[in-house]
Structure 1
Amino acid sequence: MTADVRRGDNALGIMVGRGQYNPLCNDIWRLGSSLWVGQPKAIALLSVEYADGTTADIVTDGSWTTAGGPILYDDTRHGELYDAREEKAGWNRPGFVADGWRPAAVVDGSGPLYAQMMPPVRCFAPIAPVKTFDKGNGRTAYDIGRNIAGWARVRVSGPAGARVLVEYCELPSDPELVPDIHPSKMKFKIGDPDYASFYDKSINIRQQNGYILKGGGPETFECRFSYKGFQYIRVTADEGVTVERVEGVPVHTDVADAGSFVCSNETVNRLQQMSRATLLNNIHSIPTDCPHREKQGWTADTYMTDQTAIYNFDMAAFYAKWATDLAGTADRNGGLCTVAPSTGYDQSISTVWPAAIVFVPWDLLCYYGDRRVVERHYETMKRFAESSLLRQADGKPEIIREVLGDWVSPHMTLSDTLQSYEMAPPEGLTLYGTASHYRVVKYLAGIARYLDRPQEAERMDAWAARIAESFNREFFDPATKTYHGDKPTPYRQAANVVPLEYGIVPQSDRDAVQRNLISDLQKYDGRIGTGFVGTMALMDLLPQVDPELAYRLATQPAYPGWGFMVANGANTMWETWDGSASRNHPPFCLISGYFYKYLAGIRCVSEYPGFKRFVIDPSVVGDLTFVEAWHDSMYGRIESGWKRDGERLTLDVTVPVNTSAVVHVPAASAEGITESGRPAAEAPGVRFLRMENGKALYEVVSGTYRFQSSI
């Protein structure tokens, strides 16, 4: 703070808000009854070193004074009320006379203090409205053109005591604002003035903030202690108030950029932009599911997108901190909550969701080489795996009951209203609980090996084999080579791709199960029949076994699919394929990870954490004519870009210092492949390995390379 200190007198002032520490909301998430709730407190230490070498510490203690401020009410979910008439001019500057202020109460701390483990939440460049609508009676609506997390910055003028109400929503039902509102949003009568607009009746949330003018000239206000998710702003002002300017202010944790992806297909580019925007909108000290309805740290939403986030942003410290939040939800039996931090309403009810305690630390190890997180939480991981046994189905060892499963999977009925999904999949939940149980234990075996615990690894492998045996006995039909849930349904994509991707399918049946999956996808013209869990598995498996079909799924414009969102004007990712729920939800952002890992081909190798040794294996598919991508690894920038001109392919690769890579060059044969104009096998730092699946494999050391081939 050296630059803020001046000669002569200085002052320190703190404005304290409730935040998540002392929420007032009484909605279904019960944040007001959280175990950590307490009255707002402040602690500060300013250390000063003078030119003569002497030092002084200024600390918060009983000599500080306090007073009520202009923020009369604040809650992270329900908003703020600011009365500018209560402002105390100069209160945080030297010379202020604090008449009537009370001594601060000195209280014990709530626990040990730790340095903040991640970047701060910051405001970013404001966004001007693209459309303005005069709704009459002092009410004006604004469309800022894209869905953000943050708040409005409003400039007004008017008499003292006049009031201004600011409300927010992501998709209003007002046909003037959204003339082509999608049928899937029509769940309530249009005559309902609250319907789908600026109030979520289902969970008693109204995104708003209020301001009372002090008068005397232009006044600018914005929130400090609450944020919203919105594209539309509605401002209602008392008579005599002039609204001079309204802007949307994006607010999120200030994670640094770590990647970029662009290609020749505009649908793909839109999906990449949507993914980045949605992730940032949901990075607010914790990874949230949405910035409007819940603001909750849903665990599966996080592990389904953590690799995508890592490719795009520097997430190392952020996820390491959140893993500690999740571990902190453990009960005495090792069970974890489905959200973190949690009020405990969701304690020990799921395996699929809290499995993030295993998958997120493992990804931090693979992508950043940070073994500390898996070491710190290894015992918590093991206890979590054992706690799943408390939810075994009666008389069925290792078959695990679940509460969420393949969330919001479509039923493929394709009704006119497109509301063809339910929150829980029709095939039931136990298949997903059991499959996740297997995946957790199998990952633990790998983690135990990495931590040099061979006996535990063997025990986990044996346990995983028993789970797989129970799973196949319960859910596999050997006659049709298909998997089914505990409820009878026609063929379900998620029920089959999950055991395929997790490695549960017996090797002798794998090809047949995989053929059935691809046949079903082709039958529906590449339309996706999976929810969160199944889509993650699908986009990990399919690019490896049928890259062309994977690309078709990623881009086709019909419902259900990502292209359908783009075709219907989405600028952030939807929670459901039909857009009838949240429109700012991370899970389907996993598609951006597919762009980096498969279209650009930048993939880490778990045996060499942190991209010490990695793979460049691009998919040259569909209508793509070029791809350009980079990712900043712990060793430096990795670049992969390719361009095709007819049957000629150029692949540009950058490998950072102190790393190596295996580059897969698409080619009809190894003959004729060049690197920087010379035969590739003779180029410095390049060693030919073999031909495999229509690609020539080369091992390369650090450097910049240009491979050219005929495809």
Structure 2
Amino acid sequence: KKTAPGCYEADMGHNLSARPVLKVRGKAGDRVTLRVGERPGQPWEDHSYTYTLRGGGAETYTPYFTYFGFQYIFVEGADLEADATGERPVLLDLASEFVTSAAPVVGAFQCGNPLLNEINDMVARSVRSNLQSVLTDCPHREKLGWLEVSHLMGPSILYYYDARGLYRKICRDTTESQLENGLVPDIAPEYTRFTKGFFESAEWGSAAVQLPWLLYRWYGDTDILARQYDTMARYTDYLATTRDAKGLAKAGLGDWYDWTPEKGHAGYAQLTPGELTATAMLFDNARILSRTAALLHKHGDVERFNRLSEQVREDFITAYYDSASHTVATGSQSALAVGLFFGLIPETDREAVLATLTAKLEQDAFKPSTGEVCFRYLLLALAQAGRNDLVYRIINRTDCPGYGWMLREFGLKTLSEQWDKPGSSLNHCMFGHVQEWFQRHVLGIGQAEDSTGFERLLLTPTPVGDLTEASGHFDSPRGRIAVAWKQEAGEFSLDLIIPGNTDATLVLPVPANSTLMESGADAGQASGIAAIDLEGDHPVITLGSGEYRFLCRPAKTP
């Protein structure tokens, strides 16, 4: 639209990481300036592109050596053909050219709930916008490699992109940014240095340990563990030195950008002690180091890091767990989720703590109060406990705060930095953890606890709430795993593809006494099915590579 003589504003449809493409016609020496911005009428004043025309016909300009995050392009110094007076160049066309990593797309998800599909698309746009030479926080304001996103969003990203090259590079960045004392700063590469929690936060620096382990689990890559082991061990040893008299690790940013109705967002964690999340990271890092040392035959470190993890767990429980009320620390959603997800509560009390978390969610009307660090742990703690119905209630809403609120209230098509309102950035991917839940729990594509590279699959397709169908795929290192399920008229159907050289355990979401058919015949006689276990609540089927079509009907009553 025209905003002033020679000035126009163009909406690209949604926020993206891009460079503008200008097509104009005018005289040699004419100049056209482009600015970009996230909001209508609000260009970034300190970011502009000016093109000087050569003359002689239509010419196209693109600033190839940069990119920026924006939704709107603002043109100064040109007229549309209809407005042309000859004083200024004629604006022939204006477009944006998406700039992102070349990481191949390896995953897809869709379902029968339009809101969930929109959420999935919103997260995907945000991830693509921040997949650059580093995994950026946002494509405009800072463009820095804040490390917490890389590991907290790691599974969500790897389910949809083959980003192993970028992730190996991030691992190298942590090594090159590591200080002599072992500290890994919050950003890598460390192009600038911040202070306090923005420099030293366990939830950020722990990417140095979490990412090599993620790559090992995802791709079966032991080389990355060998290459990064020294960085991993030195950082974990450093983090252990920050413990206070109670054995708790030093607090940093904590559960960044958690939310309350009274205060909204406050930046630093306001509902959960920063020491709690830092100590949980130390525990998990030590546990990973013990397992990594075993794989690399570093026998002395196996026991050393195992002792450290056990001591940290004991200190965490002593400091934060109340056995009388079955709560953790402040009783926040985040504190309870961390206790459950990491196993930092007595094993015998898991059901009681889950009940406390369920009651807390009910009290909060199923509105998420977690920040970016603990939102993933909340979703997965509930899902692993078989409470995907609660995850669905958290996700499937359009009121404040949440994904649907961003979509419906503000019309955003990428993730805001804040749950409750458009923040200073409208293109962050730090709250996109729901994509992991879509793939791992709704589609049910996962691997066994002792598997790497998706060699042995654990498939758990899960109808939840009013969701009656979902489909998608993940191109694992061994090939495509495809799932399409539907639940209607009391029947559950599942189309399944398992790649070559892969075994799978399939847990069907139906009663164990259901009638099971595969490709129109009794499933017990089907080719590729090695065993069917009906001893538990649900049928558990062991099967090999191939294509399957299951139909599950309720058992006939006498």
Q: Shorter chain as normaliser: what TM range? A: over 0.9
SS, match of residue 589 in structure 1: coil
- What does 1:272-287 correspond to in 2, within 5 Å? 272-287=120-135
- Counterpart of 1:373 (choices 224, 227, 238) is 224
- Counterpart of 1:246 (choices 79, 91, 94) is 94
Moved more, 572-581 or 461-470: 572-581
Which of structures 1 and 2 has the bigger CA Rg? 1
- Counterpart of 1:513 (choices 334, 350, 353) is 353
For 1:440 and 1:169, locate their aligned partners in 2 and report how far apart those are by CA, in whole Å: 40
- Counterpart of 1:464 (choices 309, 324, 329) is 309
Runs of 4+ aligned structure 1 residues displaced above 4 Å come to: none
Deviation at 1:605, TM superposition (A): 2.6
Which AA in structure 2 matches 1:366?
R
Which AA in structure 2 matches 1:446?
R
For 1:208 and 1:253, locate their aligned partners in 2 and report how far apart those are by CA, in whole Å: 23
For 2:352 and 2:48, locate their aligned partners in 1 and report how far apart those are by CA, in whole Å: 55
Counterpart position of 1:144: 12
Residues 495, 581 of structure 1: CA spacing in aligned structure 2 closer, same or farther, 3 A cutoff? farther
For 1:443 and 1:670, locate their aligned partners in 2 and report how far apart those are by CA, in whole Å: 40
- Counterpart of 1:407 (choices 223, 232, 256) is 256
Deviation at 1:207, TM superposition (A): 2.8
Counterpart position of 1:184: none
For 1:296 and 1:704, locate their aligned partners in 2 and report how far apart those are by CA, in whole Å: 44
Counterpart position of 1:258: 106
Pair 1:481 & 2:481 matched: no
Counterpart position of 1:180: none
For 1:450 and 1:262, locate their aligned partners in 2 and report how far apart those are by CA, in whole Å: 38
Deviation at 1:669, TM superposition (A): 2.3
Counterpart position of 1:159: 27
For 1:140 and 1:463, locate their aligned partners in 2 and report how far apart those are by CA, in whole Å: 62
Which AA in structure 2 matches 1:373?
I
Kept after mapping to 2: 8 A contact 1:305/1:590: yes
Counterpart position of 1:50: none
Counterpart position of 2:64: 224
Kept after mapping to 2: 8 A contact 1:366/1:604: no
Counterpart position of 2:82: none
For 2:236 and 2:493, locate their aligned partners in 1 and report how far apart those are by CA, in whole Å: 47
For 1:671 and 1:555, locate their aligned partners in 2 and report how far apart those are by CA, in whole Å: 29
Residues 374, 684 of structure 1: CA spacing in aligned structure 2 closer, same or farther, 3 A cutoff? same
Kept after mapping to 1: 8 A contact 2:531/2:541: yes
Kept after mapping to 2: 8 A contact 1:289/1:298: yes
Counterpart position of 1:700: 543
For 1:403 and 1:497, locate their aligned partners in 2 and report how far apart those are by CA, in whole Å: 19
SS, match of residue 253 in structure 1: coil
Pair 1:536 & 2:376 matched: yes
Kept after mapping to 2: 8 A contact 1:410/1:422: yes
Which AA in structure 2 matches 1:228?
F
For 1:250 and 1:492, locate their aligned partners in 2 and report how far apart those are by CA, in whole Å: 40
Which AA in structure 2 matches 1:570?
L
Pair 1:134 & 2:2 matched: yes
Greater helix share, structure number: 2
Pair 1:548 & 2:389 matched: yes
Which AA in structure 2 matches 1:532?
E
Kept after mapping to 2: 8 A contact 1:329/1:344: no
For 1:168 and 1:359, locate their aligned partners in 2 and report how far apart those are by CA, in whole Å: 36
Cα deviations across residues 290-340 of structure 1 (Å, max 9, x unaligned)?
101111111011111111111111112221122111211111111111111
Kept after mapping to 2: 8 A contact 1:625/1:645: yes
For 1:286 and 1:406, locate their aligned partners in 2 and report how far apart those are by CA, in whole Å: 22
Q: Structure 2 regions of 5+ residues with no counterpart?
A: 79-86
Counterpart position of 1:656: 499
Residues 454, 692 of structure 1: CA spacing in aligned structure 2 closer, same or farther, 3 A cutoff? farther
Counterpart position of 2:193: 345
- Counterpart of 2:426 (choices 583, 586, 591) is 583
Pair 1:494 & 2:334 matched: yes
Counterpart position of 1:593: 436
For 2:215 and 2:300, locate their aligned partners in 1 and report how far apart those are by CA, in whole Å: 24
Which AA in structure 2 matches 1:423?
G
Kept after mapping to 1: 8 A contact 2:512/2:536: no
Residues 693, 401 of structure 1: CA spacing in aligned structure 2 closer, same or farther, 3 A cutoff? farther
Deviation at 1:671, TM superposition (A): 4.2
Deviation at 1:607, TM superposition (A): 1.8
Q: How many matched pairs?
A: 539
Pair 1:564 & 2:405 matched: yes
For 2:227 and 2:426, locate their aligned partners in 1 and report how far apart those are by CA, in whole Å: 35
Cα deviations across residues 406-453 of structure 1 (Å, max 9, x unaligned)?
01110133xxxxx61110111441111111111111122222233344
For 1:446 and 1:710, locate their aligned partners in 2 and report how far apart those are by CA, in whole Å: 43
Deviation at 1:213, TM superposition (A): 2.0
Cα deviations across residues 225-255 of structure 1 (Å, max 9, x unaligned)?
1110011111111652221110011011111
Deviation at 1:480, TM superposition (A): 2.3
Residues 467, 227 of structure 1: CA spacing in aligned structure 2 closer, same or farther, 3 A cutoff? same
Counterpart position of 1:358: 209
For 2:328 and 2:9, locate their aligned partners in 1 and report how far apart those are by CA, in whole Å: 50
For 1:450 and 1:682, locate their aligned partners in 2 and report how far apart those are by CA, in whole Å: 40
Cα deviations across residues 579-634 of structure 1 (Å, max 9, x unaligned)?
22322111222111110000000002342211111111011111212111111111
Deviation at 1:705, TM superposition (A): 0.8
SS, match of residue 500 in structure 1: helix
Percent identity, please: 30
Pair 1:678 & 2:518 matched: no
RMSD: 1.8
Pair 1:420 & 2:269 matched: no
Which AA in structure 1 matches 2:399?
A
For 2:348 and 2:512, locate their aligned partners in 1 and report how far apart those are by CA, in whole Å: 31
Cα deviations across residues 490-528 of structure 1 (Å, max 9, x unaligned)?
x41112211211111112332222211111112222211
Which AA in structure 2 matches 1:279?
V
For 1:353 and 1:632, locate their aligned partners in 2 and report how far apart those are by CA, in whole Å: 29
Counterpart position of 2:84: none
Which AA in structure 2 matches 1:364?
L
Pair 1:169 & 2:37 matched: yes
Cα deviations across residues 175-195 of structure 1 (Å, max 9, x unaligned)?
xxxxxxxxxxxxxxxxxxxxx
Deviation at 1:140, TM superposition (A): 0.5
Q: Structure 1 regions of 5+ residues with no counterpart?
A: 1-132, 175-196, 200-204, 414-418, 486-490
